[in-house]
């Protein structure tokens, strides 16, 4: 291994994609068991590695040198092999500062609650203190170190201003989990989640629904990777050892922005919602062709999985069975990311469907005037004009409330597809 990432479970990681864009084609993901850490580091068979959950604290005793910042934090996420000496650093610090800045969350004078007690939580605490937070609390499921319990967080710290999640709760493949209910913290002015897969966790979605500035951890991941790569590159790419470091602030920011946009664009799905007959499938195919992505029509996928058409499912099994199968399809497609998805007209009726679609997708509501939508066979809940208009009145507020982008007007499929692409 020349460069890479070590951790417990790495199936969710985007690090290889990021470092390849930074010019490290030999970057590898290496899952290790706790008992393998010492032996792996003792061999010193790498130039530079990143460290993730759960080993950011574990690696410290096996290093020859730890930077002042990493030692003060108590966590290492970057290790450079400098002529056989292993030097640990913490670029998560700079990554988290960059994420807070990007999201517009100011910690000065604020009460900060950090969910979790591991290495990333220690980094978050150091960041909060450096940014002059009024107070900082870390949480743990059980009473340990200087952490408070989640029960104490709710009962004694409901006036928290900013929450930073550093736990894996809500991370792929368990994307429907949420570490705390935000209703318990009515004064919140910001929420940060270090999780980046999915792009928007249930915690982030819950905050955004409350109009609270919030973001997942992708920007932090990219920023810390750019900082780590600057250290890697100055060690021995040309066989010569130089001082560890490098990369101006402007260069690091430019690289972070460029790669963040590329990775976010690649991983994020385009999700089309709206009434039956507005052209979601036609528009979706055009958008997918332009973006060179896979197109999936949820109704077509339901038919494929069930082996029968939708009117037959309604007639023989009922609407609930159809909605259950629809929810299963949406959950599976949403977890994959990077697709163009046309949903059924009633997909937004279940909050879980909306949350799943938003986890890795941008929801675009195609809003055509009801008078321009034709009644067509094969739509069990809108078989005539009266039924169609009833569904429209029932669903319209939900379409509006659940979308990220609202496209109004009657236009050709080609024109609507162009508007979708401009919005993206």
The tokens for 203 are 């915690």
Residue 239: the pLDDT is 46
Query: Average of pLDDT values for 396-406?
Result: 96
Burial of 282 (0-12, 13-18, 19+ CB in 10 A): middle
The answer to whether 91 touches 73, Cβ cutoff 8 Å, is no
75 and 152 assigned to the same domain: no
Token pair recorded at residue 348: 């937004």
Q: Are residues 122 and 166 in the same domain?
A: yes
Give the range of the structural domain holding residue 120, as residue numbers without chain letter.
94-216
Is residue 144 predicted with pLDDT exceeding 80? no
Same domain, 364 and 305: yes
Number of domains in the chain: 3
Annotated catalytic residue: which of 2, 9, 30, 56? 56
Domain co-membership, 356 together with 282 = yes
What are the φ and ψ backbone dihedral angles of 86, each rounded to 5 degrees? -90, 120
Q: Rounded to whole angstroms, how far apart are CA atoms 148 and 115? A: 10
Are residues 361 and 341 in contact, defined by beta-carbon separation less than 8 angstroms?
yes
Dist. CA 358–CA 355, nearest whole Å: 5
The DSSP secondary-structure symbol of 38 reads: H
Residue 35, token pair as written in the block: 């008992």
- How is residue 413 written in tokens? 């499929």
Specify whether 285 is located in the same domain as 347. yes
Higher pLDDT residue, 248 or 78? 78
Burial 22-52 (b: 16+ CB within 10 A, else e): bebeebbbeebeeeebeebbeeeebbbbbbb
Residue 9 among the catalytic residues: no
Residues 6+ apart with CB under 8 A from 340: 269, 270, 272, 284, 285, 287, 288, 291, 293, 294, 295, 296
**Average pLDDT estimate for 286-291:** 97
How much is the pLDDT for 26?
83
Residues 408 and 281 in one domain: yes
How many beta carbons lie within 10 A of that of residue 179, not counting itself? 20
* Whether 325 and 202 share a structural domain: no
Together in a domain, 149 and 236? no
| CATH number, position 297 | 3.40.50.300
- According to the model, what pLDDT value does residue 142 have? 83
Domain stop point among 183, 199, 216: 216
Q: So what's the pLDDT on residue 218? A: 97
CATH value at residue 33: 3.40.50.10860
Contacts by 370-379, CB closer than 8 A, 24 or more apart:
370/275, 372/410, 373/275, 373/276, 373/277, 373/278, 374/277, 375/277, 376/276, 376/277, 378/309, 378/310, 378/311, 379/276, 379/277, 379/345
Q: Convert the pLDDT of each residue in 86-107 to its tens digit.
A: 999 999 999 999 999 999 999 9
Least confident of 56-60, 74-78, 127-131, 228-232: 228-232
160-183 mean pLDDT: 95
Q: Can you tell me which residue has the tokens 């010019």?
A: 23
389 Cα distance to chain centroid: 37
Q: Distance between CA atoms of 176 and 174, rounded to whole angstroms?
A: 6
Task: Give the per-residue pLDDT at 146.
Answer: 87
Q: Name the domain boundary from 232, 264, 296.
A: 264
Calculate the alpha carbon distances from 303 to 274, 277, 309 in Å: 19, 18, 5
Full DSSP string of 215-246: E-SHHHHHHHHHHHHHHHHHHHTTS----S--
pLDDT tier, 241 (very low <50, low <70, confident <90, very high otherwise): very low
Name the region of 195 (left: φ>0; alpha: ψ -120 to 50; beta: rest): beta
Q: What is the mean pLDDT of the chain?
A: 92
248 and 341, same domain (yes or no): no
Instruction: Name the helix (H) or strand (E) containing 3.
Output: strand 3-7
Residues 6+ apart with CB under 8 A from 1: 26, 28, 30, 45, 46, 49
Q: Are residues 212 and 318 in the same domain?
A: no
Q: What is the full DSSP assignment across 274-304?
A: --TTS-HHHHHHHHHHHHT--EEEHHHHHHH
Which stretch of 2-6, 217-221, 222-226, 378-382 has the lowest confidence by average pLDDT?
Answer: 378-382
pLDDT digits (tens, 9 = 90+) for 53-86: 899 999 999 999 999 999 999 999 999 998 899 9
3-class state of residue 187 by DSSP: coil
How far is the C-alpha of 392 from the C-alpha of 388, rounded, in Å? 6
* Average pLDDT over every residue of 413-421: 95
Answer yes or no: do 159 and 279 share one domain.
no
Between 47-61, 135-149, 271-285, 352-366, the lowest mean confidence (pLDDT) is in 135-149
pTM comes to 0.89
> 247 versus 259: which is more confidently predicted?
259
390 or 203, higher pLDDT: 203
Q: Which phi-psi region, left, alpha or beta, contains residue 374 (left: φ > 0; alpha: ψ -120 to 50)? A: beta
Tell me the per-residue pLDDT of 108-122, one tens digit each, with 9 for 90 and over. 999 999 999 999 999
Percent of the chain topping pLDDT 70: 95
Q: Are residues 197 and 77 in the same domain?
A: no
Q: At what angle do helices 218-236 and 92-103 cross, to 10 degrees?
A: 140
């Amino acid at each position: 291994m020349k460069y890479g990432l070590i951790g417990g479970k790495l199936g969710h990681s985007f690090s290889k994609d990021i470092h390849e864009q930074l010019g490290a084609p030999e970057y590898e993901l290496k899952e290790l068991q706790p008992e393998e850490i010492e032996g792996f580091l003792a061999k010193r068979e790498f130039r530079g590695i990143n460290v993730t959950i759960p080993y950011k604290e574990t690696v410290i005793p096996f290093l020859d040198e730890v930077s002042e910042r990493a030692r003060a934090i108590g966590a290492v996420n970057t290790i450079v092999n400098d002529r056989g000496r292993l030097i640990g650093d913490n670029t998560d610090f700079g990554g988290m500062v960059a994420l807070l800045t990007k999201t517009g969350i100011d910690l000065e004078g604020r009460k900060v609650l950090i969910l979790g007690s591991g290495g990333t939580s220690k980094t978050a605490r150091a960041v909060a203190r450096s940014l002059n937070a009024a107070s900082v609390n870390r949480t743990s499921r059980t009473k340990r170190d200087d952490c408070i319990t989640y029960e104490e967080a709710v009962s004694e710290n409901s006036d928290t201003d900013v929450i930073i999640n550093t736990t894996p709760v809500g991370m792929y493949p368990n994307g429907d989990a949420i570490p705390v209910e935000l209703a318990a913290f009515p004064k919140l002015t910001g929420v940060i989640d270090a999780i980046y897969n999915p792009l928007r966790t249930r915690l982030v979605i819950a905050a955004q629904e409350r109009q609270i500035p919030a973001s997942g951890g992708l920007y932090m991941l990219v920023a810390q990777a750019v900082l780590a790569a600057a250290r890697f590159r100055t060690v021995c790419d040309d066989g010569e050892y130089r001082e560890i470091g490098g990369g101006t602030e402007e260069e690091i920011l430019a690289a972070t922005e460029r790669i963040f946009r590329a990775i976010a664009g690649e991983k994020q799905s385009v999700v089309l919602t709206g009434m039956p007959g507005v052209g979601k499938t036609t528009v979706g195919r055009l958008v997918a062709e332009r973006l060179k992505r896979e197109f999936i029509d949820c109704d077509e996928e339901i038919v494929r999985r069930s082996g029968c058409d939708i009117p037959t499912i309604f007639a023989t099994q009922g609407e609930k069975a159809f909605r259950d199968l629809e929810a299963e399809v949406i959950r599976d497609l949403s977890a994959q990311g990077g697709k163009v998805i046309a949903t059924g007209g009633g997909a937004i009726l279940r909050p879980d469907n909306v949350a799943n679609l938003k986890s890795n997708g941008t929801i675009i509501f195609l809003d055509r005037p009801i008078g321009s939508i034709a009644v067509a066979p094969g739509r069990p809940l809108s078989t005539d004009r009266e039924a169609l208009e009833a569904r429209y009145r029932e669903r319209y507020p939900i379409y509006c409330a659940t979308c990220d982008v609202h496209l109004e007007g009657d236009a050709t499929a080609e024109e609507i597809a162009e508007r979708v692409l401009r919005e993206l």
